[in-house]
Structure 1
Amino acid sequence: MITLNNEYLTVQVNPLGAELSSVKDNESGLEYMWQADKAYWGRHAPILFPIVGRLQDNQYRLDGKVYQMTQHGFARDRTFTVVDQDTTHVSLELKADAETKALFPSDFILTISYELVDHQLKFSADVANPADDTLTFSLGAHPGFNVPLGDPTADFTDYQVTVSPKKVYQRVPLVGPYSDTQHSVPLDLTQPLSLNHGLFDHDAQVLTLDNHETTVMLSTPDSDHGVALTVAAPYLGIWSPYPKQAPFVCFEPWWGLADDVQATGDLETKVAIHHLAGHENFQAAYQITYF
C-alpha cells in the first residue's frame, strides 16, 4: 500500500488497480472512503478502463474479431507500477501485455496520478497511444464515500447531494445495465437531492455534464463533514447498490458509457467511445475536497 500525507489528510493507494483505498482526517481519524465490505460492494474506487459499464453479452467486436470483457474492463484488477512518488504525490502506470491483449488487442499506457494539496486530493489520468493505429477506449472513475460520515447515530437519508451549477440536468436512463441514450429525461437539481436507497432502484443516476465543470457535494445539515468532487467530464454517475441498504454512495466521473440498448457490438461505434490517434495522449482529471 502506498501512503500519502500532509498536515490534514492521510491517503492510501493500492497498486492493485491504482485504487484509492483510504482518506482519513488526521485530526479526527474520520475515514471518508468506503472500506469495501463485500457484503455490499468489495471495492473502494476502481479505475474503469478500457470500457465503462457493461458490454452487451460481455463482448465486443474490433477489426472483425470478437473479444470478451466484463463490466468496467480489466484495469481495476491489474497491478500498476509506481513510476514517481513522494510524500504527497504518486503516479502509477499500466501497460499493455499478453494478458491484456487477450481481452483488448491495442497497445496503451495508462498513467494514474494522485496529488494531495491541503484538504484536496487531485486525480489525473493519462492514456497514451504508443502505436500507429487508433486506440478505441473509454475511461472512468468510481470513488465511494461512507454515508454517514463519522456519526454512528446518523442515517443514509440524513444526507443530500448538491450539484453545482444548480439546474435541470439530462439523465441517461439505464435499462438493466445498458444505457438508453435515446430517451434522456430531465432531472431537476436546482435543489439538493435527498439521498434514499430507492433512488438507485434502476442502478445509477447518470447525469449528462457535456464536459462542463461541475461540483457534486455530499453533506448533511447535521454535520460539518462531507466531500465535494469537481470534474469536467461528459457524464457523472451517482450510485449506491440496490436493494441493499448500503452505507455508501459513489460519485463516478465517466468519459464513456455502458453499451446502449441499441448497441451493435462494434467497439468503433460504441456510444461515448474515444478514438485516440497514434502517438497521441488523452487526459482526464477530477478533484475531491474533504471537509
Structure 2
Amino acid sequence: MTVRIENDNLIVEIHEHGAELQSVRRKDSELEYLWQADPKYWNRHSPVLFPIVGRLKNNQFDYEGHTYYLSQHGFARDLNFIVIEQSATHAVFELRDSPLTKNLYPFSFHFQIRYTLTTNDTVKIEYFVHNPGETPIYFQVGGHPAFNVPLEVNHKFTDYYVNVDPVKEYDRVKLIGPYSDPEHMGTFNPRIPLRLRYDDYKEDAIILSLEKQQTSLILARLDASHGVTMNLKDANYVGIWSPYGKDAPFVCLEPWWGIADTIDADGDITHKFAINKLAGQKDFSANWSLTFF
C-alpha cells in the first residue's frame, strides 16, 4: 500500500514496504525529485537502514555466544511496516520485532518512522526506536534517499554539484572494500562545491564524519534553478554516493547514525564501531529534513 501526503507545493508518496519514500513531486513544476528505482542501475528509491548501516564483517555478528546473520543495511528495508497514524500532511509507520527478526537480530524493538510536511517545501523524517525490554539493545539507523540527476531533460550529471555547510575541513572515512577504516581518515574540504563526477565514486561513497554537528547539504544544478537541501541536526555521518561504472542518473545523500564494520571488527555487536546502545524502557530519536526547490 502506498500512502500519500501533500500540501500546496508537494506530493509525497511512501510505501508500507520498508516505509520507503517512493516519490516527491512539486505541483508547480511537476518535477520528480526522487529516483524511480530503475533496476538497470539500482532498484530502490530511499531505503531505510536498520538495525545496521553498511555491511557487517562476513555479514554476521555475535551476541551472548550466538552468531546472527544480517545482510547489508539490515532488514527494515525489506519488511512491511504498519501505518499507525496518518493525516493529510503526515504519516507514521511502525515495525516491531517478530519471530522473523529474532532469527536475524535477537533484540526486541519498536521502530517508528514519521514523515511530516512541515512547510510547503519541506519533508521532515524522524526515527524513533523504543526498547520495550529490560536489557540494552544495540542498533544503527540511517537513510539512503536517491535523487534524480539530472532533474530535467537536456541537462547532464556534471551540471550538478553538492555543497556542504558549514564550510570547514571534514574527516573523511575511507572504505576498504565494504568496510570502514576510521584509523586512517582522509579529509574533505567543501570550500569549493563538489562538482558531480562519476570517477569520485570509484572507491564507493564519500563519507564525512559530522560528529553530530548541524550540517546541510545542497544538491542542485549549477544555476541553482532546482535541487534539494538536506538538513541534518545530529547525524554522525553523511554519505554521498552514486554507483561507480554505471553512469547512473542519480545521487544519494545518506544521513547515518552508524557506519559499516571496521576492517578489524571482532564481530561482537556490543563492541561494534559507531553502535547505539539503548537501555531498557528507553527511547532514541533522530531526524533530518529535505527541502525541495
> So what's the TM-score if we normalise by structure 2?
0.98
Q: What does residue 123 of structure 1 align with? A: 125
Determine if the alignment matches structure 1 residue 82 to structure 2 residue 80.
Answer: no
Residue 277 of structure 2: which of 264, 275, 278 is its match?
A: 275
Displacement of 1:223:
4.9
Displacement of 1:73:
0.2
2:85 alignment partner AA? D
Alignment of 1:98-137 (within 5 A): 98-116=99-117, 117-137=119-139
Q: What does residue 195 of structure 1 align with? A: 196
Q: Which whole-Å CA distance do the structure 1 matches of 2:230 and 2:116 have between them?
A: 14
1:162 alignment partner AA? N
Displacement of 1:222:
3.4
Q: Which whole-Å CA distance do the structure 2 matches of 1:216 and 1:222 have between them?
A: 16
Q: What does residue 236 of structure 1 align with? A: 238
Displacement of 1:228:
0.4
The 3-state SS of whatever aligns with 1:57 is helix
Q: What does residue 255 of structure 1 align with? A: 257
Say what the alpha-carbon RMSD is for the aligned residues. 0.7
What's the % identity of the aligned pairs?
Answer: 46
Determine if the alignment matches structure 1 residue 246 to structure 2 residue 248.
Answer: yes
Query: What is the number of equivalent residue pairs in this alignment?
Result: 290
Alpha-carbon displacement from aligned partner over 1:121-153 (angstroms, at most 9, x marks no partner): 00000000000010101111101100001x211
Q: Which whole-Å CA distance do the structure 2 matches of 1:135 and 1:112 have between them?
A: 18
Q: Which whole-Å CA distance do the structure 1 matches of 2:279 and 2:54 have between them?
A: 23
1:194 alignment partner AA? R
1:288 alignment partner AA? L
Alignment of 1:41-190 (within 5 A): 41-116=42-117, 117-149=119-151, 151-190=152-191
Residue 289 of structure 1: which of 265, 269, 291 is its match?
A: 291
The 3-state SS of whatever aligns with 1:181 is strand
Q: Which whole-Å CA distance do the structure 1 matches of 2:222 and 2:18 have between them?
A: 35
Q: Which whole-Å CA distance do the structure 2 matches of 1:137 and 1:221 have between them?
A: 38
Displacement of 1:118:
1.0
Q: What does residue 2 of structure 1 align with? A: 3
Alpha-carbon displacement from aligned partner over 1:162-201 (angstroms, at most 9, x marks no partner): 0000111110000010000100111111110111011100
Determine if the alignment matches structure 1 residue 18 to structure 2 residue 12.
Answer: no
Segments of 5+ residues of structure 2 without an aligned counterpart are none
Query: Relative to structure 2, which stretch is displaced further, 215-224 or 47-56?
Result: 215-224
> So what's the TM-score if we normalise by structure 1?
0.99
After TM superposition, what 4+ stretches of structure 1 lie above 6 angstroms from structure 2?
A: none
Q: Which whole-Å CA distance do the structure 2 matches of 1:235 and 1:276 have between them?
A: 19
Q: Which whole-Å CA distance do the structure 2 matches of 1:223 and 1:38 have between them?
A: 29
Q: Which whole-Å CA distance do the structure 1 matches of 2:227 and 2:92 have between them?
A: 26
Displacement of 1:5:
0.6
Alpha-carbon displacement from aligned partner over 1:21-40 (angstroms, at most 9, x marks no partner): 10001122100000001111
Q: Which whole-Å CA distance do the structure 1 matches of 2:167 and 2:158 have between them?
A: 21
The 3-state SS of whatever aligns with 1:180 is strand
Q: Which whole-Å CA distance do the structure 2 matches of 1:229 and 1:86 have between them?
A: 24
1:260 alignment partner AA? T
Displacement of 1:220:
1.6
Q: What does residue 33 of structure 2 align with? A: 32
